[in-house]
Chains A and B, each alone.
Chain A
Amino acid sequence: MARIKVKRIPASIDMTAMCDVSFLLLTFFILTATARQPEPMPVDTPASIVQIKVPDEDIGIVTVGGDGKMFFGIGGQEVRVNMLNRISEKYNVGFTEEEKERFSLIEGFGVPISRLKQLIAMDTKERIESGIQVGIPADSTDNQLKEWILAARYATKELHNVEMRVAIKGDANETYPSIKKVIDILQDQGVNKFSLLTSLRDEDY
């Protein structure tokens, strides 16, 4: 009996084109992804239902963590240099061009002004591991955090002509007085609107 043989069509398709496209996309995403720098103080932000993302530019982030330690960071290298210039004028600490260059690459920091040079001289890994970052002093007698925020606001205004937004990134277990300290600093400068950074709430609340 003559059987009709069904011709089998090969199931495989030419993947070359798909491969091309996917690698093109991959390259795009790798290049656009901003490398995440290790944070000086990893904090566990509380959750909320808010779903508005933090803007990337012109935002200064005050991190509060580890029992009231204050850290400050701002995006944009030129803003950082401008901010440092203002601070060095204020506290009469000179910085060389190289130090300014290195400072502009620091995402966030938490040292008193007296130790800033020491911090700049370190490399990224050392900055976190050495335990030098004890927080920016924010007491009423020596309020350096206030000066940093003020300098950052001036710098943002001068370079980008927009009002800098301030965000507070606090650890969930941080006590209210240390948050209040930051809020008071902001209110003293007339900043009544600011953001609290939160993560997404996923549990049934």
Chain B
Amino acid sequence: MAELNTGDDSKNKGGKIRSKKQGGKVDLTPMVDLAFLLITFFMLTTSLNKPFAMDVAMPDKNKEEPEDVLQLADNRTMTILLGSDNKIEYYMGTLEEPIEGPTVTSYGKDGIRPVLLEKLKSVPQITGDPSKGLIVVLRPSEKSNYKNLVDILDEMKIVDAKQYMIGDIGTAEIELLEREGIYN
């Protein structure tokens, strides 16, 4: 039906010269192909090109009452220090008397993730209250980069840690990172 009339079949019959009849139908298949190709292109570029938004909530700075800080239970807190060279160091409890660690590890599924998953399970058992789970304190050092921060926040989302916050790193912790050689 929709073929391009090439005019091959309308050969001269009976010696009479016939004027070629121009076919009114053109094969539109390539045109449709092209149109759909373009549609796909525009659809993908409009919606897939948008970046994703990772929402972050920071603890309030609370300038008026700096004394009014929430004391965190030692056995619930895990501090993660972000060092250089894509390395991290973590410890449980306080830096002076760590319950566990400090241990140097890396990002991802072979690094911090099994530790986090294990702690998320064990901490409510230690505290004896399911609502008192693990609290993760993230302390990025000046030598870490933005990717590290996003990676560790992403890790919190992957292991579904409910309580985590970004804090400032202290001098004692920087010294620790320097000793471990992940602050350069």
User: Which of A49, A54, A192 is within 8 Å of B53, CB to CB?
Assistant: A54
Chain A residues within an 8 Å CB radius of B35: 19, 22-23, 25-26
Chain A residues within an 8 Å CB radius of B179: none
Q: How far is the CB of A95 from chain B (nearest CB, A)?
A: 31
A interface size (C-beta, 8 A): 58
Q: Is the interface of B mostly helix, strand, loop or mixed?
A: mixed
B55 touches A175 (CB 8 A): no
Q: How far is the CB of B48 from chain A (nearest CB, A)?
A: 9
Instruction: Decide if B121 is an interface residue (CB 8 Å cutoff).
Output: no
Q: Could you write out 27 A-B pairs with CB less than 8 Å apart?
A: A12-B1, A14-B2, A15-B28, A18-B28, A22-B39, A25-B35, A36-B49, A47-B154, A48-B157, A49-B154, A173-B147, A176-B142, A176-B144, A180-B140, A192-B60, A193-B55, A193-B56, A193-B58, A195-B53, A195-B55, A196-B54, A196-B56, A196-B150, A197-B53, A198-B53, A198-B150, A205-B109
Chain A residues within an 8 Å CB radius of B57: 192-193
B31 touches A187 (CB 8 A): no
B interface size (C-beta, 8 A): 49
Q: How far is the CB of A200 from chain B (nearest CB, A)?
A: 6
- A166-178 CB contact bits vs B (8 Å, 1 = yes)? 0101111111110
B146 touches A48 (CB 8 A): no
> How far is B84's CA from A46's CA once the two chains are assembled, in angstroms?
16
- B133-150 CB contact bits vs A (8 Å, 1 = yes)? 000000011111111111
**Contacts between chains A and B (CB distance < 8 A), count:** 163
Q: Is the interface of A mostly helix, strand, loop or mixed?
A: mixed
Chain A residues within an 8 Å CB radius of B141: 176
A51 touches B52 (CB 8 A): yes
Chain B residues within an 8 Å CB radius of A25: 35, 39
A13 touches B150 (CB 8 A): no
B56 touches A195 (CB 8 A): yes
Residues of A113-159 at the interface with B, using a CB-CB cut-off of 8 Å, are none
Instruction: Decide if B151 is an interface residue (CB 8 Å cutoff).
Output: yes
B108 touches A48 (CB 8 A): no
Q: How far is the CB of A196 from chain B (nearest CB, A)?
A: 5
> How far is B55's CA from A52's CA once the two chains are assembled, in angstroms?
9
Chain B residues within an 8 Å CB radius of A177: 142
B56 touches A22 (CB 8 A): no
- A17-47 CB contact bits vs B (8 Å, 1 = yes)? 0110011011001101110100000000111
Chain A residues within an 8 Å CB radius of B140: 176, 180
B147 touches A19 (CB 8 A): no
Instruction: Decide if B178 is an interface residue (CB 8 Å cutoff).
Output: no
Q: How far is the CB of B73 from chain A (nearest CB, A)?
A: 23
8 residue pairs, one from A and one from B, having the closest CB atoms: A15-B28, A29-B42, A22-B35, A195-B53, A172-B147, A46-B147, A46-B150, A48-B154
